[in-house]
Amino acid sequence: MGSLSTRHILGIKYLTKEDIHLIMETASYFKEVINRPIKKVPSLRDITIANLFFENSTRTRISFELAEKRLSADVVNFSASASSVSKGETLLDTVQNILSMKVDMVVMRHPLQGAPFFLSKHIDANIINAGDGTHEHPTQALLDLYSMTEKVGDVSGKNIAIIGDIRHSRVALSNIFCLVKMGARVRLCGPPTLIPKNIESLGVEVDYNLKRTLEWADVANILRIQLERQHIRYFPSLREYSLYYGVNKKLLDSLNSEVVIMHPGPMNRGVEISSDVADSQQSIILHQVENGVAVRMAILFLLAPHKS
Ligand code: NCD
- d(Cα 66, Cα 64) in Å, to the nearest integer? 5
For residue 135, what pLDDT band results from cuts at 50, 70 and 90? very high
Mutate to test the pocket of ligand 1, among 55, 129, 136, 140 (most ligand atoms within 8 A of CB): 140
Q: Is the CB of 140 under 6 A from ligand 1?
A: yes
Task: Find the mean pLDDT for residues 209-230.
Answer: 96
pLDDT at 5: 97
For residue 216, what pLDDT band results from cuts at 50, 70 and 90? very high
Phi first, then psi, for residue 36 (nearest 5°) are: -80, 160
Q: Report how far ligand 1's centroid is from the alpha carbon of 6 (Å).
A: 24
pLDDT at 217: 98
More confident residue, 89 or 105: 105
Q: pLDDT over 90 for what percent of the chain?
A: 86
| CATH code at 12-137+289-303 | 3.40.50.1370
Q: Is the CB of 80 under 6 A from ligand 1?
A: no
pLDDT exceeds cutoff 80 at 83: no
Backbone Cα Rg of the chain: 19
Mutate to test the pocket of ligand 1, among 53, 55, 60 (most ligand atoms within 8 A of CB): 60
On average, the pLDDT of the chain sits at 95
pLDDT exceeds cutoff 70 at 229: yes
The answer to whether domain 12-137+289-303 and domain 139-284 are alike in fold is: yes
pTM of the full structure? 0.96
Residue ranges covered by each domain of the chain: 12-137+289-303, 139-284
148: which residues sit within 8 A by CB, 6+ positions away?
A: 155, 158, 160, 219, 260, 262
215: which residues sit within 8 A by CB, 6+ positions away?
A: 255, 256, 257
Element (H, E) at 115: helix 115-122
- d(Cα 59, Cα 67) in Å, to the nearest integer? 12
Q: Is the CB of 170 under 6 A from ligand 1?
A: yes
| CATH code at 139-284 | 3.40.50.1370
- How many CB atoms neighbour CB 18 within 10 A? 11
